[in-house]
């Protein structure tokens, strides 16, 4: 595939990706370390006829994005952990009403205000369940500058395919890292856009929430002659509130099944030097870059280490995790939190003897720390 070379930061690349993927609206509020996403897209969107609005707060930002998406536009918001906390209620509305949108979360230290200018991966568990209730989150995690771009593009296609919010996790290190990225061409990105499904029959036959048990709703854009109801309540096939027992059960089960029945479309991961590995390192995001360097050092010292990196964090690539943890005895999970993804690796593997290396002081984990931990515990 033809590529182009770009020198930029992760946050800037995410904003560029959104516009290249057809995003026409951004609504948000500046929040360290994600602010550059808003700064850059505010310059890019007007040039293509789009709109970027700095709202009065994070809550208004997500509300504006939901409204833009309801009108048929691809829409983006960007923030960090505290902003997700504020957006939580309306992210739940988007899950229930099946309104597609993309949310970039550039992770920093928490909880609360935490360490605003420092790196963390503390929002992994939050991304799985950012709002209350039963649904399945779709969360992608960039592990390089190039993936800040490509995973944002993929997020827009997945949002329209599954009709729900899709999260893209960056972290402060990736968001502010400046370097070279090999990206697909704009033409290739535009050719790969998967448009949102719409209904084009008679208006009286349109029932947006009448769909198969593993399929998303079909929401036509507002103002185009089709009438239906948006609500955060349990609703019938037309979108109107209901408490009918079987309708409610089927609705919530479908919100779960429309994701779990199609994990083959969602799963994405990287395997690095795993073919002959005797030690498996599990890492994601910017930590995976340090893990790769650690693996090179370990192999130079005669230790056959390999990396398994989930790119789609939720739903997790649980079958592949199980495959590797079944055949490799020594497993080290490395995270910039106190084991939020370790819980998922333990669940998927059925093992409780996995080792963890964690750091939560806002500083990155170095390759030497990882290499030394492998030597110390295995």
31 and 143 inside one domain: yes
Domain end point (choices 168, 191, 214): 191
Around 234, how many Cα atoms within 13 Å sit in the side-chain half-sphere? 15
Report how far apart the first and last C-alpha atoms of the chain are (Å, whole number): 41
139 and 278 inside one domain: no
Q: What is the CA radius of gyration of the chain?
A: 21
177 and 300 inside one domain: no
Domain end point (choices 191, 222, 247): 191
CB 198 within 8 A of CB 220: yes
136 and 279 inside one domain: no
167 and 309 inside one domain: no
Q: Is 206 a member of any domain?
A: no
Return the exposure string of 31-58: e unless at least 16 CB atoms fall within 10 Å of the residue's CB, then b.
bbbbbbbbebbbebbeeeebebbebeeb
24 and 112 inside one domain: yes
Q: Is 265 a member of any domain?
A: no
Q: Is 216 a member of any domain?
A: no
Q: Is 254 a member of any domain?
A: no
Q: Is 246 a member of any domain?
A: no
40 and 129 inside one domain: yes
60: domain CATH number is 3.40.50.970
CB 280 within 8 A of CB 240: no
Domain end point (choices 161, 191, 221): 191
15 and 151 inside one domain: yes
290: domain CATH number is 3.40.50.920
167 and 282 inside one domain: no
Q: Count structural domains, the chain.
A: 2
Q: Is 235 a member of any domain?
A: no
Q: Tell me what pLDDT residue 2 has.
A: 84
152 and 284 inside one domain: no
Q: Is 233 a member of any domain?
A: no
Q: Tell me what pLDDT residue 1 has.
A: 67
Helix axes 81-97, 58-70, angle to 10 degrees: 30
21 and 152 inside one domain: yes
Sign of the Cα pseudo-torsion (314, 232, 237, 68, in order): negative
Q: Which residue segment(s) compose the domain that 331 sits in?
A: 270-377
48 and 187 inside one domain: yes
The alpha helices in 55-171, defined as continuous H runs, are: 58-70, 81-97, 124-128, 145-162
The alpha helices in the chain, defined as continuous H runs, are: 10-20, 35-47, 58-70, 81-97, 124-128, 145-162, 172-176, 186-191, 245-260, 263-266, 287-300, 318-327, 342-349, 367-377
Q: Is 182 a member of any domain?
A: yes
Q: Cβ contacts of residue 225 below 8 Å, gap of 6+?
A: 203
User: How far is it, in rounded angstroms, from Cα 256 to Cα 263?
Assistant: 11
Query: CA dist 300 to 15, 276, 294, 369, Å?
Result: 39, 14, 10, 16
* 240 C-beta neighbours (distance < 10 Å), count: 12
Mean pLDDT per segment of 10 residues, for the chain of length 378 residues?
92 98 98 98 98 98 98 98 98 98 97 96 97 97 98 98 98 98 96 94 96 97 92 97 98 98 98 98 98 98 98 98 98 98 98 97 98 97
């Amino acid at each position: 595939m033809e590529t182009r070379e770009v020198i930029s930061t992760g946050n800037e690349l995410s904003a560029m990706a959104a516009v290249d993927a057809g995003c026409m609206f951004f609504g948000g509020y500046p929040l360290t370390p994600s602010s550059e996403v808003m700064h850059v897209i505010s310059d890019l969107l007007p040039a293509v006829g789009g709109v970027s609005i700095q709202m009065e707060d994070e809550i208004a930002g997500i509300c504006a994005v939901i409204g833009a998406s309801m009108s048929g536009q691809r829409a983006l918001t960007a923030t960090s952990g505290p902003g997700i906390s504020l957006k939580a209620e309306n992210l739940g509305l988007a899950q229930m009403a099946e309104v597609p949108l993309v949310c970039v979360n550039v992770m920093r230290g928490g909880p609360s205000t935490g360490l605003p200018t420092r790196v963390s991966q503390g929002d992994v568990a939050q991304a799985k369940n950012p709002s209350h209730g039963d649904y399945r989150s779709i969360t992608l995690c960039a592990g390089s500058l190039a993936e800040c771009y490509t995973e944002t593009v993929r997020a827009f296609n997945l949002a329209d395919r599954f009709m729900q919010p899709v999260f893209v996790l960056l972290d402060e290190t990736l968001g502010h890292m400046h370097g070279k990225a090999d990206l697909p061409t704009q033409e290739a990105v535009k050719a790969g856009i998967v448009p949102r499904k719409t209904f084009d029959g008679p208006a009286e036959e349109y029932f947006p929430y009448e769909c198969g048990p593993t399929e998303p709703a079909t929401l036509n854009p507002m103002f185009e002659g089709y009438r239906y109801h948006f609500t955060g309540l349990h609703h019938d096939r037309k979108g109107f509130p209901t408490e009918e027992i079987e309708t409610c059960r089927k609705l919530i089960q479908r919100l779960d099944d429309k994701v779990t029945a199609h994990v083959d479309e969602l799963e994405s991961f990287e395997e690095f030097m795993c073919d002959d590995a005797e030690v498996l390192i599990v890492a994601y995001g910017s930590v995976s870059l340090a893990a790769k360097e650690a693996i090179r050092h370990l192999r130079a010292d005669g230790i056959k280490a390999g990396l398994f990196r989930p790119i789609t964090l939720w739903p997790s690539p649980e079958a592949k995790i199980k495959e590797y943890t079944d055949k490799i005895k020594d497993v080290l999970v490395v995270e910039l939190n106190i084991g939020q993804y370790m819980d998922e690796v333990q669940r998927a593997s059925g093992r409780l003897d996995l080792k963890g290396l964690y750091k939560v002081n806002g500083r990155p984990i170095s390759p030497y720390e990882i290499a030394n931990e492998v030597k110390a515990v295995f």
